Homo-oligomer: A and B are copies of this chain.
Amino acid sequence: MSRWQPDPAGRLTKAAITLFAEQGYEATTVAEIAARAGLTKRTFFRYFSDKREVLFSGSAELERVWLDGVAAAPAGATPLGAVIAGLGPVAEMFTERHHFAGVRAGIIQANSELRERELIKLQNLAASIEAMLLSRGYSANAAVLAAQAGVTVFHVAFARWVHQDDPTAFRRLINESLQELRSVTAG
């Protein structure tokens, strides 16, 4: 029996999602997750700073893809235009993960601690986007609001996307949310 099995973080994540889906987040202990992955509680906390974080390791990839997309937007774009343009690659990335995203979203929605963590991830994302917009030369005020508005559009569209069947609908839902935000703020 080898102590050194490959991809410990991946095994822990898989074990955690299985157990959370089966018996709920609160009813699952870290020791249980670790045991299922053939590891110990102490090792779990070497890979994830806390119990919730095991569900959010993917947020780094979301941030990277989105920021790259914003950076690649045409120079003449409006600030919100650049943020929304960055969601193109994001929508592609999520298309293949519709089922997983649904399972994960179900787990998160069922627990308030996990919803808190999701919100702060989105807020950190907004802060990164804001910094990116500043580096593109937009004003500080425009950067704050465009980043917040963009994250709101993403959040609303994402919630709708996981609750319906077509995995390829994400881009359309983003455009719809954007138009709704525009019509609500117009005037």
List chain A positions with a Cβ less than 8 A from chain B: 78-81, 112, 115-117, 119-120, 123, 141-142, 144-146, 148-149, 152, 155-156, 177, 180-187
Contacts and interface: CB of A to CB of B under 8 A. Distances in A.
B116 A184 contact: no
A183 B145 CA distance: 9
Given A145-B152, A182-B187, A186-B186, 5 more contacts: A116-B116, A142-B180, A145-B177, A145-B180, A148-B155
A31 B29 CA distance: 25
Q: Shortest 9 CB-CB distances between A and B: which pairs?
A: A119-B119, A116-B116, A145-B184, A116-B120, A145-B180, A185-B185, A146-B184, A148-B152, A145-B181
A94 B180 CA distance: 31
Interface centre among A149, A152, A185, A186 (most CB of B within 10 A): A185
A5 B28 CA distance: 40
A130 to B, nearest CB: 11
Given A149-B152, A152-B148, A184 B119 contact: no
Contacts of A78: 184, 187
A182 B148 CA distance: 12
21 contacts: A78-B187, A80-B185, A112-B120, A115-B120, A119-B123, A141-B180, A142-B180, A142-B183, A142-B184, A144-B156, A144-B180, A145-B152, A145-B156, A145-B181, A146-B184, A148-B155, A148-B156, A148-B181, A149-B184, A149-B185, A185-B185
Nearest to A123: B119
Contacts of A115: 120, 123
Nearest to A52: B116
